[in-house]
Amino acid sequence: MPETAYLIDTMAYVFRSYYAMRSMSAPDGTPINAVFGLGMTLQKLLRDYNPRLAVCCFDAGAKTFRNDMYPDYKANRAAPPEDLIPQFDLCRELAARMGFAVAMTRGYEADDLIATLTGRLRSEGHDVVIVTGDKDLAQLLEPGVQIYNLAKNDWWSDKRMPEKLGVRADQVTDLLALTGDSADNIPGVRGVGPKAATALLAEFGDLGAIYNDLDRVETLPVRGAKGLRKKLEEGRDSALLSRRLVDLDRNAPCDLGVCDMHYQGATTADLDAFAETWGLRRVADKTPRLKDD
């Protein structure tokens, strides 16, 4: 029976660890609170679920192909804190030293790599668990794919999407195209909120159908239906752009095959040397080791 694969939205847990953990330093004074917190998070995943297939997915930098489409993409975000910047490389190295496959491709986000690997795994019959708290990844939900929000111990499936976001999983990109996403500076349609967007998608099904029949929008039993039609008409270009921005690339360059994703534990010498250098003994001590090591 094919094994379940865990695809980890690792950058989210790097930032979460940085803000949640007290200040910590390696022997040479390098900040390591995010590194330590990530290590403990990965330990928890290993302890609770013992994954046989696992990949830590990372962003490769702030600029991606989405910035070429829309220079203001994520422009509202401040630069990372100075004491977090040197920890990014250490987080990637820690994940690898702990025995995880690591995925990162310049010009793409971790979300795109997760989308690509999800398709690859599903084509070979594997179930997939996406470890994240990011609603954007809900567009990948389908039978055999779940989201696990490790921080909240909350599981999402395609069947739970109407309860969670008010739409089906296959409508998530259209929902975000209409409402926008302030976290990523995605504009959406000005003046269209979640209630109006979910009502539109319930009636029409998708963004294309809405724009193919704008006249019918005025007849909907939605407050301000006539004004809504005008907003949609004026915001057509913004909606279509937003749709392209939130849609994940399911063919991102990534050379990991299923055989590369098998989690077998850490190589003792490599992890122990890394832990000694960076003051991460507590992480190393509880990390599974290769059986023949």
In 3D space, the residue among 184, 115, 109, 193 whose CA is nearest the CA of residue 147 turns out to be: 115
pLDDT tens digits, residue range 10-66? 999 999 999 999 999 999 999 999 999 999 999 999 999 999 999 999 999 878 999
- Residue 78 is predicted with a pLDDT of 87
167-to-138, 186, 263 alpha-carbon distances in Å:
11, 19, 35
| Tokens, residue 51 | 């994954």
Residue 2 has a pLDDT of: 84
Q: What is the pTM of this model?
A: 0.95
Beta pairing partners, 262: 53
Fold of 5-160+248-285: Rossmann fold (3.40.50)
Look at residue 226 and tell me whether its pLDDT is greater than 90: no
pLDDT band at 112 (very low <50, low <70, confident <90, very high): very high
Over range 106-123, report the average pLDDT. 97
If one counts every other C-beta atom within 10 angstroms of the C-beta of residue 131, the result is 28
- Report the chain's mean pLDDT, rounded to a whole number: 95
In this model, does residue 97 exceed pLDDT 90? yes
Query: DSSP per residue over 203-239, as a string?
Result: HHSSHHHHHH-HHHHTTSSSTTHHHHHHHHHHTHHHH
Question: Residue 220: its pLDDT value, please?
Answer: 86
Within this chain, domains 5-160+248-285 and 164-246 share the same CATH topology: no
pLDDT per residue as tens digits for the range 229-266: 999 999 999 999 999 999 999 999 999 999 999 999 99
Q: Which residues contact 203 (CB under 8 A, 6 or more apart)?
A: 216, 220
Q: Using a pLDDT cut of 90, give the percent of the chain over it.
A: 91
The residues spanned by each domain of the chain are: 5-160+248-285, 164-246
Topology, domain 164-246: DNA polymerase; domain 1 (1.10.150)
